[in-house]
Structure 1
Amino acid sequence: MLSRDEYLIAWSRWHGGTDPAASRLVRGWLTLAYTLAVPLARMSPLVATALGLVVAGAAVPAAAAGGLWLIAAGLLVGLSGLLDSLDGALAIAGGRASRRGFVLDSVVDRLTEVAYALALWAAGAPGWLAVTFGALCWLPDYLRARAGQAGVSETGAISVWERPTRVAMTGMTLGGAGVVAALVSPAVVVGIGTGVGCLLGAVGTGQLGVQLRRALED
């Protein structure tokens, strides 16, 4: 098992040289995943990947139930994000990382983000806003993938809209709506949270677009 610092360096290599130290949120998220991975070192990364997708899917009916179930939906979203990071920590720190696993993990990430958008819609967010939120979850990683196909070896600096931010925004929006359900309409809280997420997504995509444009012009 790699040490935490070795794991962070290896994670950076697998993610186009992205420095996790550039964001306290990302570095803290990866450190938490590594801490969880140490006692679970024998678990297959594929198990964590599958569980993450199942848990994210379970957040949708919980969000649709409304009321205090929204708190459960928020917790499920957070847990799915941790499981997603756990599979990467198990694979990289355990020396089991592979290109096949890397691609599979990316596909599952996109599927869980579909579940996040569906959960926000089920909880009361307008359909167009939930679709926009989901699209902005997908777009940065699509841009990075296409830039990589065009020969860009670096994925760019960490933006304000990385995977941990998407998970946190979805989880806190759903959970927060559940906490104040007796005082404020959950649909209002979810709509505002989803809107803020879209704003962060637009800013983050813009940041990434500027970085990739410079890289493509070199």
Structure 2
Amino acid sequence: MTTGDDDGWSALHGGIRPSPVVRGWLRMVRVLSAGPVARVPPDVLSLSGVVVLAGAWAVAPAGAPWTAVTALLVVAAGVLDGLDGAVALRTGRARPLGAVVDAVADRLGDLLLGAVLVALGAAPGWVLAALALVFVHEFLRARAQSVGMPGVGAVTVAERPTRLVVVALPALGAAVLPAGPPLVGASWGTVFALTWTVLGAVGLVQLAVGVVRTTPPRFPESPPGR
């Protein structure tokens, strides 16, 4: 990875330096975006991630060992989620409408992640709580950015990669131990829906602190004559 890759990520995330894990992820996405996938329109990559997650949802009710396929599809959707932006920047096709498409695809994807957990046996109430926190999290960030907050406010424990992980892991667990996690007495889906909810609550607090810290105290002065 080049220093430029780190700097580009940092500029998009309020000056925060990427961790070693994030640097490794960026290296992988950069390599993939330099291949034939660079010819695919970024919007197609964004929407393809939604289609892949729909496939994960369709496979999940089949149970073991097919839930391993669900886990693989969730990971594949995460790769597509990273590739759309990387390809847009590499090929000079980044544009405001593309950012809108990406955001809508992400929210649809979050809903499908919740649906996968329900298919894995999660209690719907916990899934709804987790999804509510996701939408408040993303609305807070978007609203703060619209009034002048630079960057993302804070990179929290509840970002989209975390959401993908807390759905891929129970899908894999259900393939290996269909009866559920040992000594827990609940399904894989419910355990990880609860995990997602807790992480979502912590992440929302982290983001709120970041928004208060980085949002300008007042609107810019109006131009003369306004």
Taking structure 2 as the reference length, the TM-score comes to 0.85
Match of 1:10 in 2: 8
Unaligned runs of 5+ in 2: 218-226
Cα gap change, 1:159/1:25 in structure 2, threshold over 3 Å: closer, same or farther? farther
Q: How does 1:90-129 map to 2 (within 5 A)?
A: 90-129=87-126
**Separation (CA, whole Å) in 2 of partners of 1:183 and 1:167:** 19
1:1-218 equivalences under 5 Å are 4-13=2-11, 15=12, 17-19=14-16, 21=18, 23-39=19-35, 40-181=37-178, 188-216=187-215, 218=217
Which residue identity does 1:30 align to in structure 2? L
Structure 1 residues 125-168: Cα deviation after superposition (integer angstroms, max 9, x where no partner): 00111112222233222111011122212322311111111111
* Residues 129 and 195 in structure 1, CA contact (< 8 A), matched pair in contact too: yes
Given residue 89 of structure 2, which amino acid in structure 1 is its aligned partner?
A: I
**Count of matched residue pairs:** 214
Distance, in Å, in 1 between the alignment partners of 2:43 and 2:161 is 20
TM-score of the aligned structures, taking structure 1 as reference length: 0.88
Sort the Cα spacing of 1:20 and 1:83 in 2 relative to 1 into closer, same or farther, 3 A. farther
Q: Label 1:32 to 1:135 Cα distance change in 2 as closer, same or farther (>3 A).
A: farther
More helix by share: 1
Gaps of 5+ in 1: none
Identity of aligned residues (%): 36
CA RMSD of aligned residues (A): 2.3
Contact 1:63 1:122 in 2 (8 A): yes
Which one has the largest radius of gyration? 2
Q: Which amino acid in the other structure matches residue 211 of structure 1?
A: G
| 8 Å contact from structure 1 (residues 55, 76) kept in 2 | yes
**Which amino acid in the other structure matches residue 80 of structure 1?**
A
> Could you list the per-position Cα deviations for residues 14-44 of structure 1 after superposition, in whole angstroms to 9, with x for gaps in the alignment?
x3535351x3443332322222111132222
